[in-house]
């Protein structure tokens, strides 16, 4: 794509930084307008931002083509997913570099990363369920992961877009039932 659209940069690195930034903005807005009501603390903000930064580290070569086309042909019946691999790599990074992180904190970050996948454990989460929808929303697909690549791809490829994700983040609130689910 860089030959067809020379201004386009489609790296996982830039995308992950963008998702990290958008996750932070979403959390800052939620904390500002509903922080007390929802019990959002500094750890919640950090957890969502880290999930955004690390959500795609498990992608194989050629991204989704590897996961959805190549792997099923060479290993039929495989349940491999980049989300699951991201969680495994995160464990490996923490172990290899002796990162001092609370096990429960790490567990929540990994659950947020796999929240939209078939292997999601987030459905069992009762407290602050809405946090699991910010980076990878498996319930309706509206999340900062998509906001970043839609905005980046449209801008880099010269395709117009009237979608203003920042408006969504500014006016987004958590309703009574969202908090309980």
* Active site residue ranges: 82
Judged by DSSP in three states, 31 sits in helix
Integer Cα distance of 27 and 33 in angstroms: 10
Helix (H) or strand (E) holding 64: helix 63-65
Are residues 1 and 8 in contact, defined by beta-carbon separation less than 8 angstroms?
yes
Q: How many Å is the maximal CA-CA distance in the chain?
A: 51
CA angle 108–112–117, rounded 5-degree value: 135
């Amino acid at each position: 794509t860089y030959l067809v659209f020379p201004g386009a940069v489609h790296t996982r690195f830039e995308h992950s930084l963008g998702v990290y930034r958008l996750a932070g903005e979403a959390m800052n807005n939620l904390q500002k307008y509903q922080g007390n009501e929802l019990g959002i603390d500094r750890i919640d903000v950090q957890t969502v931002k880290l999930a955004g930064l690390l959500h795609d580290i498990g992608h194989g070569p050629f991204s989704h083509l590897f996961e959805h086309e190549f792997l099923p042909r060479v290993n039929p019946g495989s349940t491999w997913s980049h989300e699951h691999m991201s969680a495994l790599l995160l464990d490996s990074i923490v172990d290899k570099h002796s990162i001092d992180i609370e096990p429960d904190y790490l567990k929540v970050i990994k659950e947020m990363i796999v929240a939209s996948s078939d292997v999601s454990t987030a459905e069992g989460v009762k407290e602050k369920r809405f946090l699991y929808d910010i980076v990878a929303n498996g319930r309706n697909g509206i999340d900062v992961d998509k906001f970043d690549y839609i905005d980046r791809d449209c801008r880099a490829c010269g395709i117009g877009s009237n979608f203003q994700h920042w408006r969504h983040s500014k006016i987004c609130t958590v309703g009574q039932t969202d908090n309980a689910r």
